[in-house]
Structure formats: structure tokens, C-alpha cells
Structure 1
Amino acid sequence: MKTVLAILAISLAVFALYFKIGLIVPAAQKGTVALENTELRERALNRGLKPVPKSWEEAKKVVDNPQNPLTPEKIALGKSLYFDTLLSKDRTVSCATCHIIADGGDDNLPTAIGVGGQPNPKHLNSPTVLNAALAKRQFWDGRSPDVEDQAKGPIQAPFEMDMTPKEVVKRVKEEPEYVKRFDEVFPDEGITFDTVTKAIAAYERTLLTRGAFDRFWEGEDDAISQKAKKGLYLFMRLGCKGCHTGMSVGGQSLQHFPLRRYNSLLSPESRFVNDERYFAGFRWQKIRGDEPFPFPDVGGFHGRNGQFLFRVPILRNVTRTAPYFHNGSIKKIEEAVRIMARHQLGLILNDEQIGEIVAFLKTLEGEPVEYEIR
């Protein structure tokens, strides 16, 4: 009997500690508090979340690049190049191969596949191209500042499109229609590698999406469900919006991942653990034996300069861009949310909370806006 009481006392003490340090979100504070729609919108605005503009006039103010001014002709030229396989060595791969516009802006594969069926040597999956122009960083390590610079990478990478700038120019100049269009769009420069990538980037800058969240933000109270509203409240209250912010809901910064590494002796799903070693998880420790991530380290990519710095992913259309994380090791969005809460925020979320956050993320789904570009 004394043993049972002792175990019970220890369990209560552990629970109290969890509650105190915030590893478990208490049921009374888990996002089920019903906020007025207006207050929810005000909180979203104050935390940097914004809707995507409805009109091209407003969208252009957000996505135009003074170094690559947008014009209807340049955008149309870029669209043609985006879908053209002549930009790859064996003429089998285009930008659209890995960034499928009609399917979330990525390819839904764990790793990108280039010419000759080559996988990315770091096993990196393709980030979405949708809303990418809203991001301040491009690529998983954030090495490119904008979509103009980003467009140069895949074309030249030997495991993607495997072309040199010289080969690109030669190929494009062999097409009379392209020669004519480049003369019109870039009369002073003509066909160069820079003008090719500028045109592609111009098209990509138009690929903004709107969904239910945007309609709710603009005043349509019933655009999203009550469950999604709870998820939005949780998303903001727990701190997800600290990194996933802006009109794109991400892509604005580089962040360390994971921030918290836990001892692999205990299951990540554990709610009550009678082991003080568990709380040492706030120190940098190994997880999953020799794994640096809470999933297999397929590809061995450790972020910018190997410092575990990754570009914060864009969350618009995230529920359509599985698998998740840089190497595509996680298949389900629910598991991705659980991992992020655990290893970035130090929180254990229950299934109901995860379901509410996923319901909110689904409101970020949307198709590219068909702007009247002029």
C-alpha cells in the first residue's frame, strides 16, 4: 500500500511540474475558449498574419521587384519558360516538374528528382513555389534572397536540370518565338541567363493563393469552422506565429531546428514520466540514438553551414504538400504538428489540440489567384 501511495505521490508531483513548466497545455487553456470573430482577427493582425490581396493592383505592391519590374509580357514569357523542358539537359524536366502549380506548388515526393531520374543528393524535398515571392529567404538553408536568384540554382544543379548558363542561352536562341519575345520584353539585354531567370521569377511572383482564411480575415465569419477558429487561437497563443508569420505564414526567417532535443530512452508521446532525466531534455542531447532530428536523418543535411538553421516553411497550402520537413521523413501533417510543438515549443499537444491546429492549417489551402494582370 505504501508503495502504491508513493507512486501516486510521485506521479502527481511530475504532473504538477509538467503543468508548471508548460510541457502540457492544460485542458482549460487549450484553445477551446470561444473568442469573438472580431477579436480573433485583431489578434491575427497584431501577430503579423495578413490576407493575400484580391486585386492585382494591391498584389503588385507586395510582390513587385524594382530590380525586375513586372509587366504582363514578361510574366507571360516567364510562364512559358517555367513549363518548358528545353531548360534541362535531356529535355525531360521543367520548373513545373518539381513545382506543380495545380497540386500545392511542390511534387509531393520525399526528395526532388532531376534529369536521368537522379534524386537530390541531400534528399531535400521541393518547397512550394506558391507564395514563394512573399518569402525573404529561398531554399531550405535560405541562401537565396529572392525568387530571381533562386531560379538560377535548379537550372544549373547537375542533379536537377544540369545546364550551364551558356547552354541555356544557346537553347533559347534556337527558338524563333523566344527570340522575338525576349526582344520585346528585354530590348536592351536580349537573351541572357539573367533575363531567362528574371522572366521565370516574374511569373512566380504572380503565384499567390487565397483561401478560406483570407475570406474569414476580411469579415466572412462563416468562412472557417469553429474548430478552425480554435486552431487559429491555439496557433497564436502557443507561439507558432512567432516564426510562421506574414502574408505567407512563414518563409520570413531562418530558425534553429530542433530547439529541444529529448533523451531517446523515453517515448515522445509520454505524458507522465517518473524519471528526472526526462527534464534534462531542455539541454542539447541526442534523440533516437545518433539521430540529430526527431525523425531519420536521411540525406545528412543539417541546414545552413551545418548549423541546424533552416528556412521557416511557408504554411499556405501546407496540408497539400506532404511529406514534411527538409528530407520528407514525415508523411502526416498531424505528426509534423506534434513534432513542432514538442521540439520547438517544448509542448505536448493532445489529439484534440492537434486536430484543431490542422483544421486551421486547412483554411490556408487555396488556388493561385487569377489576377487581371495589366
Structure 2
Amino acid sequence: MKKAIEVGIIVVAGILVYVVITLLPLFFQRELKTFENDNELRMAALRSFSSMPKTYDEIIKLTNTNPNNPLTKEKISLGKKLFNDKNLSQNRDISCSTCHVLKDGGADNLPTAVGDAFQENPFHLNTPTVLNSSLYFRQFWNGRVKNVEEQASGPIQASFEMNMSKEEIVKRVNENKNYIKDFKSQNLEVSFENVTNAIAAYERTLVTRGAFDDYLDGDDSAINEKAKKGLGIFITRGCKGCHAGLTIGSQSIQKFPLHSWWNEWLDIEFVANKDFFLPEIIIKDNSFPFENTGGFKGLNNEQKFKVPSLRNVVRTAPYFHNGEIKELKEAVRIMGKYQLGQIFTQEEIEEIVEFLKTLDGKIIE
């Protein structure tokens, strides 16, 4: 009887601790500031965000920042052809645009990238968008390279992506007389570096502008009232702490999650003991608030990730590094709880998502 009572006490205590920890965020909610009018909200927004330029020439001026790869119209045009050329992959069946579908937000809407011979990314990594990527401070989920020129060379050579060597790329490009003419007209030799530079030059022009930019520029009617409420929550609850600037993110590397001790993955198993069945509380891997398919843990395996840009986020599902979360609303809920320590109401989540819709934009051409 004594053993049974001890078992009961342990089980009840474990459940109570779990419930208390789970509910803790409810007691530390940040006060939600309200904004009296559009001017007040806009001024608050402009302290954290800035709008995209309106013209193509302004975009070129903004993104022409690599002295080793100066932008020209001819190079950009060549890069567009190469970006869409399936001949640059081992089996001539995929191109850069296969995984970076511009109409789908610059990604592929798959949980993980699929490359040569239908191979999935070995870490089950979700394809980041190429849109606005030249404005990011680093590239890839762990921020391991500094610009789109370096990024462009990676997938081409990766065995599970395009699976090509530098020599094979040069050979394939030389098979195309039009390419030879394009390179010659620019006084460029056909080299792997010049191929990736051309692709990167084109990627530097893939900059989008949406309704939120119009609102920042003074158009009160550019976004609806629900989106304005979502913007207010985004600002006052702390989302802007990481998702700020011109690209609404992608300007820093951050630990995720910050509050992993709010664990939703609690199991209780009864393990046989020679004296009695004693309960053992087994906590599953709580590195992330979702299953970590692929086992990837970011920079230096420390759960540090490049903060994604939220521009065009409504078109880049599924979410997070391994594409484990399908719905944007659920992604917002997770970020609120595990990154900010905030429990968003369903209404607040819907308002934030309405704001995120205003970040969807068209490529400035």
C-alpha cells in the first residue's frame, strides 16, 4: 500500500509540475499597446522597418553591393538563363528555378528540398526563398556563407542537389553557342566563378514590394484594419526584435527556441522494478516544439539559425528549418510561445497573419 501511495504522489507531482510550467507564459504576458491612428502606428513601424524601393533602377542601386560582381544588364540577363537551365544539373532535369519557384514565393512548398535522382536533403532542410536574398546578411539556415555569390555555388555542387563539378558546369555551358556568345560579349571567360556570379547577379534583382511598403510610404488604405491590429501586436509583443529592417528578418542569427523548457512532449512510462512498478517520467527530445526530422541543429549544432525574412511568408509554407509545420497560424503560435514567452489568442494570431499577408509582394521589374 505504501508503495502504491508513493507511486501516486510521484505521478500527481509530475503532472502538476508539467501543468504549471505549461501555463507559466500566461502570467508573463506583455502589455499590448494600442495606437490611436495610422500616423502613430506608422511612426512606430518606421522605427523598426523600412520600405522597398519602387523602381528597378533603385533596386539595382540597392543590391549592387559586391565589388567582385558588379551588376550589368547583360550579366543579369545571362544569369536569368542559367538560373532556369536544367542542363546545369547532372541528369539535366532540374535547375535553380526547380527549387526556387518565383510564383510560389521563391521556394518549393516542400518540407525538404529534392535534388538529383530524387534525393532529399540529408538534414531534411526546407528550401529558403531566393526572393530578397541578396539583402540578407548571411545565407543558408545556419548562415554559413556571406552572400548570394557563395550561395549559388553550393547547390550546384552538392551531390544531393544538382550534383555537378566545376569542370562539368564549364563543359555544359560551352555546349551552348548562345552562352559562349553571351560570355564573349561581356569579355568574360566561361568559368565556374563567372557562371555563379551571373546567377547571383540575376538573384540580386529578385526584390519584392508589397502593400506594407505602400503603408510605410504613407498610404493609409494600403492595408486593412485587421492587418493594422496585427502590425501593432507584431511591434508591441516583441516580434520586431528579430524580424525587422528592410527584409523583416534575415539580419541576425538567433537561438531557437529560447524557451524550450516549456515542454509539450511529456510521456510517463511505467518501468519494471524488481520490487514494484515505479513510474519513470520520460521527456522526449524537446530541442524544438516539433519533431526534429533530419536532426539539424543549426550553426555549430547549437540551435542557432539565421532568422528568416517574413516577406512573402504566406507563400513559402511549410515552415521552420525542416518544414515540419504546415500552417502559418501554427508557426505564429509557436514563435509567440517558444521565442517570446507569449501566449497569443486565436484572434491575435489571425491578426498577425493578416499583417503577414501585407508582406507578400511582386518582383520589381
TM-score band by shorter chain is 0.7 to 0.9
| Matched residue, 2:165 | 164
Task: Report how far residue 35 of structure 1 moved.
Answer: 3.2
2:360 matches 1:359: no
In structure 2, list runs of 5 or more residues that go unmatched. 1-15, 267-280
Give the Cα separation in 2 of the matches to 1:340 and 1:191. Answer: 46
Q: Is the 8 A contact 1:288 1:294 kept in 2?
A: no
Give the Cα separation in 1 of the matches to 2:307 and 2:353. Answer: 18
2:340 matches 1:339: no
Which AA in structure 2 matches 1:60? I
Task: Report how far residue 289 of structure 1 moved.
Answer: 1.2
| Matched residue, 1:59 | 59
| Matched residue, 1:290 | 285
Structure 1 segment 1-374 matched on structure 2, within 5 A: 22=28, 24-25=29-30, 29-30=31-32, 33-47=34-48, 49-64=49-64, 65-185=66-186, 187=187, 189-264=188-263, 289-370=284-365
Which AA in structure 1 matches 2:232? Y
Give the Cα separation in 2 of the matches to 1:81 and 1:42. Answer: 42
Which AA in structure 2 matches 1:236? I
Give the Cα separation in 2 of the matches to 1:136 and 1:20. Answer: 35
Task: Report how far residue 57 of structure 1 moved.
Answer: 2.8
Which AA in structure 2 matches 1:215? D
In structure 1, list runs of 5 or more residues that go unmatched. 1-9, 268-285
Question: Which secondary structure does the structure 2 equivalent of 1:367 belong to?
Answer: strand
What do you get for the CA RMSD once the two structures are aligned? 2.1
Q: Is the 8 A contact 2:238 2:340 kept in 1?
A: yes
Q: Closer, same or farther in 2 for the Cα pair 1:289/1:237, shift >3 Å?
A: same
Q: Closer, same or farther in 2 for the Cα pair 1:363/1:261, shift >3 Å?
A: same
Question: Which secondary structure does the structure 1 equivalent of 2:321 belong to?
Answer: coil
Task: Report how far residue 264 of structure 1 moved.
Answer: 3.5
Which AA in structure 2 matches 1:255? Q
Task: Report how far residue 19 of structure 1 moved.
Answer: 8.1
Task: Report how far residue 305 of structure 1 moved.
Answer: 1.4
Q: Is the 8 A contact 2:258 2:338 kept in 1?
A: yes
Give the Cα separation in 1 of the matches to 2:250 and 2:350. Answer: 24
| Alignment length (residue pairs) | 331
Q: Percent sequence identity over matched residues?
A: 53
Higher share in strand: 2
Which AA in structure 2 matches 1:329? E
Which AA in structure 2 matches 1:53? P
Question: Which secondary structure does the structure 1 equivalent of 2:254 belong to?
Answer: strand
Q: Which runs of 4+ in 1 moved over 4 A?
A: 17-21
TM-score by length of 2: 0.86
Deviations 1:44-85 (A, max 9, x none): 1212x1111001232222211222111110000000000000
Question: Which secondary structure does the structure 1 equivalent of 2:139 belong to?
Answer: coil
Q: Is the 8 A contact 1:287 1:293 kept in 2?
A: no
Which AA in structure 1 matches 2:225? Q
Q: Is the 8 A contact 2:265 2:283 kept in 1?
A: no
Q: Is the 8 A contact 1:252 1:312 kept in 2?
A: yes
Which AA in structure 1 matches 2:57? E
Question: Which secondary structure does the structure 2 equivalent of 1:210 belong to?
Answer: strand
Which AA in structure 1 matches 2:104? D
Task: Report how far residue 30 of structure 1 moved.
Answer: 3.7
Give the Cα separation in 2 of the matches to 1:265 and 1:66. Answer: 49
Question: Which secondary structure does the structure 2 equivalent of 1:255 belong to?
Answer: strand
Task: Report how far residue 262 of structure 1 moved.
Answer: 2.8
